[in-house]
Amino acid sequence: MTNHNTHEDMGLFITFEGGEGSGKTTQIKLLKYYIQSLIPDIEIVISREPGGTEVAEQIRDILVNGSADKISTRAETLLMIASRAEHIDRVILPALKRGAIVLCDRFKDSSIVYQGLANNISKEKIDKIHEFALEKCEPDLTILLDIPAETGIKRAIDRNESDQRFELKGKEFHKRIREGYLKLTTIYPERIKVINASQSVQSISDEINQLITPILKHRRHK
């Protein structure tokens, strides 16, 4: 499994990925409770991208509000990854160095899929920008909540939140997002685990807990 061991920490970095309305936020909360029930004294940091620091949240406002085509794809890519660099430097790496478990709602795979594959920008190009921005901060595990694009988009639009810029990008775009994520699972089969997010909230949570339990047990014995 890829990890951030170059940072000589004991932390654990778990990212959640998936299309719109795949239920990441709910599952992150449930996973936090589950981990706390197993290891009550562990520090768990929940964060999200784009966002997670004051400035990264300001960048998020630019990115997730307004019309679907208000910004060029290249500028959008750089802003997403700039907010990630800020988030890594100020939140993720310090937490991992303290030995915390970081549960992050979206990370680098979102940029590879949303800005890259869905816009016919190669993964290699996005990887090059990440090489500078990530400083080798890689997730230990990524949980991909997979759901048909139509189902997810309907759920997301029904939530009626204001930050719907990406949700307005149309059916074909969101089908490419799902295909892009599934393609990534073939590139990183060790790191990215797919879970069928069309199931009930409880069944999804049970599957995630099953995945995480052996990793936590291993971590306790480090």
Residue numbers at the binding site for ligand TMP (CB under 6 A): 20, 48-50, 64, 80, 106, 110-111, 114-115, 166
| C-alpha–C-alpha distance, residues 121 and 154, integer Å | 27
| C-alpha–C-alpha distance, residues 53 and 82, integer Å | 12
CB 98 within 8 A of CB 104: no
Q: Shortest Cβ distance from residue 193 to ligand TMP (Å)?
A: 19
Q: Shortest Cβ distance from residue 155 to ligand TMP (Å)?
A: 11
For ligand TMP, give the closer residue by CB, 10 or 17: 17
Q: Shortest Cβ distance from residue 220 to ligand TMP (Å)?
A: 30
Q: Shortest Cβ distance from residue 63 to ligand TMP (Å)?
A: 6
For ligand TMP, give the closer residue by CB, 37 or 162: 162
CB 131 within 8 A of CB 81: no
Phi, psi of 61 (to 5 degrees): -55, -40
| Tokens, residue 175 | 């089908």
Q: Shortest Cβ distance from residue 30 to ligand TMP (Å)?
A: 17
Q: How far is CA 163 from the centre of its chain?
A: 17
For ligand TMP, give the closer residue by CB, 114 or 181: 114
| Tokens, residue 212 | 């995480």
For ligand TMP, give the closer residue by CB, 48 or 191: 48
For ligand TMP, give the closer residue by CB, 99 or 179: 179
- Packing angle, helices 123-134 and 73-87, rounded to 10: 30
Measured from the Cβ of residue 1, the count of other Cβ atoms closer than 10 Å reads: 10
